[in-house]
Amino acid sequence: MSVPLFNLAPNLTVSRLCLGTMTFGEQNSMIESFQLLDKAFNSGINFFDSAEMYPVPQRADTQGRSEEYLGRWIKDRGISRDRIVLATKVAGPSGQMTWIRGGPECLDGKNITEAIDNSLTRLQTDYIDLYQIHWPDRYVPMFGETEYDPARQYCSSPIEDQLHALSKAIDAGKIRYIGLSNETPYGLMKFLQAADRAKGRPMIVSLQNSYSLLCRTFDSALAECCHHESVFLLAYSPLAMGILSGKYFSDGGPTDARLNLFKGRYSEGESRYNLSKATVTAATREYLLIANKYGLHPVSLAIAFVLMHPLVASAVFGATKMWQLQEVLNACHVELSAEVIAEVNKVHSMFTNPCP
């Protein structure tokens, strides 16, 4: 069975599974990446997500390889461009990735334009279907942080300036639609308001935030914003960096699993998906028990739960091995019963968002 489709925006139909490429060029060689892309595309996935900073963990020697592999695959396979939906992202300020525009320092028009042009070159394409701001150009709690600290705010590029640069790129035919990522309700609404005030400015069609059995923070204020503003969620980390597959609960998991392979080198992931937190392991064990009770593969439970959300357009997942990809493909055709959902919600009430 082919992967179902979803109308994300006018003339933008995406598969309900989106293959993320952040392992391409680090964990996966070009040959391995091509094999995964072949399998995904031949199974009905038309939606592929990347970012200028990928692969992760980020470093100067590999930056941009994920986009390069994706672009080379499309060209090598001779795939018609209109059969592929390409999404990529511009890195927000971090101060750590000095090899990307000095930090990056900010998301002003110059930085956004330069990032788009560089991504187009690496992807070997004339346009990007969905261009996303990877994280905000302002302080927000992210990657496991939950409390806002006003003292940490810094001078940032105005949202209006960011939208102006993106609008110019749309007018030039470089991008078709724009989306946000790792955003807050405040940030989403400010972007929407700014776009509404400026005639001809592009509207936000998607929000790529974390969403899984272990992270349902979207379901509060963000869900309300997205519902009323017709913005759909691209749910990344639906398997909570592989934790929900159960692989880390057998002798600590494979040595080449990300949380083991990159231990101490991937702070953004480790801060959120922290297996040393009792609530993370306790909640995951409960979800694994539910899957076993109802004869479900743990991956099927996790992916099917995400896809049943009415505001989720697509689940953005990663895979480094063919069998992992097949498990996710199998999961997109699973329907969860009311009994399963009731038990899932019971666990959620006991261990609420252990991986925010």
Q: Do residues 195 and 203 make contact, with C-beta atoms less than 8 angstroms apart?
A: yes
Number of Cβ within a 10 Å radius of residue 43: 18
- DSSP helix/strand/coil, 167: helix
How far apart, in whole angstroms, are the C-alpha atoms of residue 40 and residue 36? Answer: 6
User: What is the reported pTM?
Assistant: 0.97
Over residues 100-127, the mean pLDDT reads: 97
Query: Roughly what angle, to the nearest 10 degrees, separates helices 65-77 and 109-123?
Result: 40
- For residue 200, name the pLDDT band (cuts at 50, 70, 90): low
- Per CATH, the homologous superfamily of domain 5-243+302-335 is NADP-dependent oxidoreductase domain (3.20.20.100)
For 48-85, what is each residue's pLDDT tens digit?
999 999 999 999 999 999 999 999 999 999 999 999 99
Active site residues: 54
- Dump pLDDT digits (tens) for 151-194: 999 889 999 999 999 999 999 999 999 999 999 999 999 999 99
Task: Print burial letters for 111-147: b (CB count within 10 Å at least 16), e (below 16).
Answer: bbbebbebbbebbebebbbbbbbbbbbbebebebeee
Are 90 and 131 contacting, i.e. CB atoms less than 8 angstroms apart? yes
Token readout for 55 is 């692969």
Residues 231/204, Cβ–Cβ less than 8 Å: yes
Residue ranges of domains in the chain: 5-243+302-335
